[in-house]
Structure 1
Amino acid sequence: MAVWVFDGTLTGLCSCIFRAFQFREFTVQITANNQAQFDLLGENIYVTANEHHAQRVWQGLQHKLSKQALQQLHYAFLSEKNQAYQHIFNYCIYVFQQQQSVEKNYGQADILAISQWAKQVGREKHRMEAFIRFKKTKEQFYVALIRPDFNVIPIIQRHFKQRYQDQKWLIYDDLRHYGIFYDLDNIHQIEMNTQHIDSNLDNGFQQQFMIALDDDEILYDQLWKDYFHSVNVKERQNLKLHIQYVPKRYWRYLNEKWPT
């Protein structure tokens, strides 16, 4: 089976779909170049991202699919998993080959898989919106380091822009090495130097910032910890249920979980 390698962008993946119809090749393996596992015995083809081809594919999908189905495709793509890329490719081929709407045909393996990937990414989006905590810097803006399982920054920026319209803030993904900065008017994508340190403690992780934090941040942290512990009723603690709603991998964002 031929292996088609693309650049990891949505434009590149849509270019693969365009090529499939251009050359009538529908049974291929799709992989991003940063995750490529080349077939030494087969045919490996690097598909160059083509904006014009990608636009034609996306416009075609807009005619064939509802807004909800298009959102599911986008969410599945943000999982950054080769399995999801393959399902997206197969799904789009299937959609274009059918005359009627098939987006609700969950008996088809790729349609079901897209729905499942979208749910996982959507769940990560909601948890990031709930658990992200900001810290004030000396430059008088607020910063938060995150390390989500999926690339959710593109789909959480609207939430934070609406919620924090009156202050400057930065959310930085130190796993993917990019972030978004809101300057009270617009959101900008940026890159910067950060360092994220795992504390290797049972109660979670800590964060260390290369950006200088405001002198009062330690006081704010302690005040929040004091409040958290004062309202906590030890006799009613249910750690198993707590972890179900707040998995340990998110504790790195919650300063009440850090050592006092």
Structure 2
Amino acid sequence: MVYLIYDGSFEGLISAVFDVYDQKLSQVKLCKKNQEIPDLFARSVEVDFSDQKFKRVSEKLIEYLGKSGFNSFWKATLSELPDVDDLILRLVKYTLQEKKNVLKNYGHLDVLKLQQILKSLNRERHRMNAFVRFELGKDQIFYATIEPDFDVLPLISNHFKNRYADQKWLIFDLKRNYGIYYDLNTVSTLEIAKDNAHNQPAVLEVEWDSAEMEYQKLWKNYFKSTNIKSRKNTKLHLQHVPKRYWRYLTEK
């Protein structure tokens, strides 16, 4: 067994796929840097990202799958599932073997697995679009924190850029220690340094605008006044608003 070690990026993953074919490797697994290799006696090879490798593989896959199909491979990596790299490798092999778009063949177990992952990602994306709550800082930037199951920040940035185009905002993923910031023109990615001395996660320290608490109080009162106790359906409510999201909802 050969373990190909790549940098963790999607481009690095596709570069590793190129090396699988270039080196004619049959027994191979893909691993990110710093990921533990279970087989101590296996051979490991570090793969460097190559724009040329990425371009050759991506162009061939887009030829068969289209841009949307190829993009589904990138989306799948956002799930961060431990076996997603090898799933993508198997699907690439399947595509190149059949020389056509295989992603509608739901009878194939790997295709079905990919579609299930995409469905879960899409559900989480919709929930983040609905459940993100902003708070206004003294610097007149709106802040929100989230901890989604999957790395969905790249999937929700356009939604919030279009919806809140006239205000600056920052959405920070506490679980993955990075965020997306909109400056009224573009959305950029930013990270906050961890407290490495105490191995603590990053802390987003914000001084709130003086009117923020009043706005929150008004929103809670509105939420309470529109609630009809006689029509309370806790089971249905939990189905649409799972409890794990409540900590980020002002009304909760």
> Which residue, out of 227, 236, 240, partners 1:241?
236
Query: Which stretch shifts more, 35-44 or 60-69?
Result: 35-44
Which residue number corresponds to residue 183 of structure 2?
183
Which residue number corresponds to residue 224 of structure 1?
219
Check 1:97–1:11 CA distance in 2 against 1; reply closer, same or farther (3 A cut): same
How many angstroms apart in 2 are the aligned matches of 1:18 and 1:71?
17
- Identical-pair percentage: 41
Say if 1:31 and 1:82, in contact at 8 Å, map to a contact too.
Answer: no
In the alignment of these two chains, the number of paired residues is 245
Q: TM-score, normalised to structure 1's length? A: 0.88
Which residue number corresponds to residue 205 of structure 1?
none
Check 1:40–1:2 CA distance in 2 against 1; reply closer, same or farther (3 A cut): same
How many angstroms apart in 2 are the aligned matches of 1:164 and 1:96?
42
Aligned residue for 2:83, secondary structure, equals: helix
Which residue number corresponds to residue 16 of structure 2?
16
Q: 1:193: Cα distance to partner?
A: 5.9
Say if 2:171 and 2:179, in contact at 8 Å, map to a contact too.
Answer: yes
Q: 1:131: Cα distance to partner?
A: 0.6
| Residue 209 of structure 2 is aligned to residue 214 of structure 1 | yes
Say if 2:168 and 2:183, in contact at 8 Å, map to a contact too.
Answer: yes
How many angstroms apart in 2 are the aligned matches of 1:27 and 1:117?
25
| Residue 126 of structure 2 is aligned to residue 126 of structure 1 | yes
Which residue number corresponds to residue 173 of structure 2?
173
Which residue number corresponds to residue 35 of structure 1?
35
How many angstroms apart in 2 are the aligned matches of 1:18 and 1:132?
39
How many angstroms apart in 2 are the aligned matches of 1:107 and 1:84?
19
Say if 1:136 and 1:143, in contact at 8 Å, map to a contact too.
Answer: yes
Q: TM-score, normalised to structure 2's length? A: 0.91
How many angstroms apart in 1 are the aligned matches of 2:182 and 2:215?
22
Structure 1 gaps of 5+ residues are 196-207
| Residue 55 of structure 2 is aligned to residue 55 of structure 1 | yes
Check 1:251–1:193 CA distance in 2 against 1; reply closer, same or farther (3 A cut): farther
Give 1:134's aligned amino acid.
F
Please list the CA deviations of residues 192-235 of structure 1 after superposition, one character each: whole Å capped at 9, or x if unmatched. 3699xxxxxxxxxxxx8511111111111111111111111122
Aligned residue for 1:66, secondary structure, equals: helix
Q: 1:20: Cα distance to partner?
A: 1.0
Which residue number corresponds to residue 156 of structure 1?
156
Which residue number corresponds to residue 111 of structure 1?
111
Give 1:116's aligned amino acid.
Q
Alpha carbon RMSD of aligned pairs, Å?
1.9
Query: Which stretch shifts more, 4-13 or 62-71?
Result: 62-71
How many angstroms apart in 1 are the aligned matches of 2:27 and 2:117?
22
Check 1:123–1:115 CA distance in 2 against 1; reply closer, same or farther (3 A cut): same
Aligned residue for 1:24, secondary structure, equals: coil
How many angstroms apart in 2 are the aligned matches of 1:70 and 1:58?
7
How many angstroms apart in 2 are the aligned matches of 1:109 and 1:24?
24
| Residue 247 of structure 2 is aligned to residue 252 of structure 1 | yes
Which residue number corresponds to residue 76 of structure 1?
76
Structure 2 gaps of 5+ residues are 196-202
Which residue number corresponds to residue 101 of structure 1?
101
Say if 2:144 and 2:172, in contact at 8 Å, map to a contact too.
Answer: yes
Which residue number corresponds to residue 203 of structure 1?
none
Give 1:107's aligned amino acid.
G
How many angstroms apart in 2 are the aligned matches of 1:159 and 1:26?
42
Say if 1:35 and 1:82, in contact at 8 Å, map to a contact too.
Answer: no
How many angstroms apart in 1 are the aligned matches of 2:66 and 2:184?
33
Query: Which stretch shifts more, 98-107 or 116-125?
Result: 98-107
Which residue number corresponds to residue 198 of structure 2?
none
